[in-house]
Amino acid sequence: MPPGERAEAIREVIWSSVVRVEITHQPDPRLIRTVGAISRVGPLTVCSVRANATTVRRTPALARDDMEPSAFVGLQVTGSSVVVQDGREAVLRPGDLVMYDTTRPYTLLNRDGIHQHYFRIPRAELGLPTGLLERATAVLFSRRDPLADLTATCLRRIARQQARPAASPGQSLDAAGRPGIELLRALIAARLGDRRMAVEASDETLHLRVMDYVRAHLGDHDLTPARIAAHHHVSVRQLYKVLARNGVHLGGWVRSQRLERCRAELVAPSTRHRTVAAVGYRWGFPNAAHFSRAFKDAFGITPNDWRSMHTGSGEDPRVGGP
């Protein structure tokens, strides 16, 4: 749009859909560049933004507006930024997280430009004591912390839901948003809460941590329930109990995840030199005949036919079915 209209257009969108803040842009309106997407993912409002240098302020007057008390979580994608609130200052780099609160003033400094995912979460959804939330503002949750890294990975996946319309959006998006909130609650409790709260939060997110571990080791042929349980310091019985409580059947879920990886790899241009059996072996199917049967049972087509159907088609193997 014309340069003279950009600042006001950005302000109107952010005020109406995200939060009321004052935004300082480039002094020359011709230099203002902003690209973004805003959506609802269950209880979250997700705002993914790329823009050139800005300063964003939630002023004392704006912090007294009638907006539902909420927490924001910023996930740095590239570059760096600074968050200032409650007398603290956090410097973010790629993969880092930070939280700030809409009920009190804050400042976001983006001297090199913005490239972040922002997540607005009603404070009631977090279910944490007010005092703990106040201690968590402008505290850096570094990507070097394993739980922070897992939380950031989950939130990054949630942000990507904006570009993936589903057949039944309401249910799937709500399901995508909940794990991010649970992990964030665990992260704050583990970092700043007492021991009891940290243990409770750890128990609540065990299934998420197990599923993330399994995703990272799908190609391991020794990915047994005993190994998964030992890694998470629980018994095999407790592992099954926790997963069942969250609607996950471990064996079936692992098999479906492996088959999805095989389906994508079979038609990826960079891996078409691999045999079908080699692809199956890479993702935990050592027996070629068993792999072929499992693939056909899941997708209604053999892996050879699936590959032949998509060779040279240019279709995205991750979208749709056979």
pLDDT digits (tens, 9 = 90+) for 68-79: 899 999 999 999
Tally the C-alpha atoms within 13 A of residue 76's C-alpha that lie toward its C-beta: 26
What is the reported pLDDT for 130?
A: 83
Encode pLDDT of 264-317 as tens digits: 999 988 888 889 999 999 999 999 999 999 999 999 999 999 999 887 544 444
What is the reported pLDDT for 79?
A: 92
What is the reported pLDDT for 242?
A: 86
By CB atoms closer than 10 A (0-12, 13-18, 19+), residue 101 is buried
Token reading at 284: 């935990």
d(CA 25, CA 55): 7
Tally the C-alpha atoms within 13 A of residue 267's C-alpha that lie toward its C-beta: 24
pTM score: 0.66
d(CA 239, CA 58): 44
What is the reported pLDDT for 202?
A: 63
What is the reported pLDDT for 319?
A: 37
Neighbour-count burial for 16-53, b at 16+ CB within 10 Å, e otherwise = eebbbbebebbeeeeebebebebbbbbbbbbbbbebeb
- Whole-number Cα distances in Å, 32 to 3, 15, 24, 65, 228: 7, 18, 10, 28, 50
What stretches in the chain show pLDDT beneath 70?
A: 162-176, 193-203, 312-322
What is the reported pLDDT for 183?
A: 87
Q: Describe the strand order of the beta sheet including 34-41 as a list of residue ranges.
A: 34-41, 44-51, 114-122, 70-76, 97-101
What is the reported pLDDT for 199?
A: 64
Task: Give the closest residue to 70 by CA, choosing from 46, 100, 98.
Answer: 100
